[in-house]
Amino acid sequence: MEFVERECCPACDGVRARTLLQRRFHEGALGQFLRDFYRREPFEGTYQLDECLDCELIFQRFIADRESMKMLYTGLATSEDDAPVPLHPGDKHELLALGAFIGKPRLRVLDYGTGWGAWPISARNLGHDAFATELAPHRASWAAAQGVTVISEEEIETNRPFDVINLEQVLEHVAEPLHLLQSLIPSLSGVLKLSLPNGRRRIVGELERDDFRHIMPFHPFEHVNSFNRHSLAKLIERLGLKEVRPSLRDLYSFRSTSVKDFARPIWRFYNPDNLYVWAMRSDV
């Protein structure tokens, strides 16, 4: 795996940063953690967490280059028992809420980085026009076989506009989250939905003590951007977006007798371990 250094903050392009943590991937307790997680010898390189002094994003200074990142997400980070995930009622309920909020019975939706495509498959089942992008060919093929229109990043512009662009557990993985969203915003006519781990500052203190119980928002190689509520709000502002909240009527545009189903729509917005935001263009 080849690594490149990010010389500025990937969320605001700021150059002022301070180093919070520095370790070698293959040494000490971190090396053992990675051996156990990936079941192979860790790559040689530096795990360095820097905090942007302008927007408070915590990001990994050294990340896999483009080809190594592709290898990571089409091979190394894919388990041997990787298989299609079942559809989740929460996706259906979320799509119903989005439709009610936007006020359209039939939406054009794009799921960026779809994985096995559960979200756009749910959208298609509801009668929406569902598009998706995905790096792993076997996952993209599965989603396409279920009726999702799988497109490349270059084809996003020719298929716009989209009423909803969904990035579910994606923004923490990409090398340049600011530039990615800047490329997607012109194709957005409705809601941008972001959901990602909450990279709380206190977890870095745990990592300094070789306590990896809560490492997920800062996972080496994969979660290279660790947003908190402040840094995500700054990113949304920089993009010229405004955060929006659906009404309770919109959120509960479904019928269910499950307590979990009724708790989920509110919990999404207030879960301390995860960031969940709807945003819209200010000029639309």
Question: Domains of the chain, with CATH numbers?
Answer: 3-76 (no CATH), 89-209+220-281 (3.40.50.150)
CA distance 128 to 280: 20
- What's the average model confidence in pLDDT over 140-148? 96
The residue ranking higher by pLDDT, 77 or 207, is: 207
Q: Quick check: 15 pLDDT over 90?
A: yes
**What is the reported pLDDT for 105?**
93
| Statement: the pTM of the whole predicted model exceeds 0.85 | yes
Joined together, the tokens standing for residue 212 give 């990896």
pLDDT tens-place string over residues 37-91 = 989 898 899 999 999 999 999 999 999 998 888 887 776 655 545 778 889 999 9
CA distance 277 to 232: 9
Beta strands in the chain (DSSP E): 3-5, 17-24, 46-52, 58-60, 62-64, 108-112, 129-133, 149-150, 162-168, 188-197, 225-226, 241-244, 274-281
Classify residue 217 by its DSSP letter: G
Q: Quick check: 223 pLDDT over 90?
A: yes
Whether residue 161 has a cis bond before it, omega within 30° of 0: yes
Smallest CA-to-CA distance from 156 within 197, 186, 135, 115 is with: 186
Tell me the pLDDT band of 128, cut-offs 50, 70 and 90.
very high
Contact 109, 164 (CB under 8 A): yes
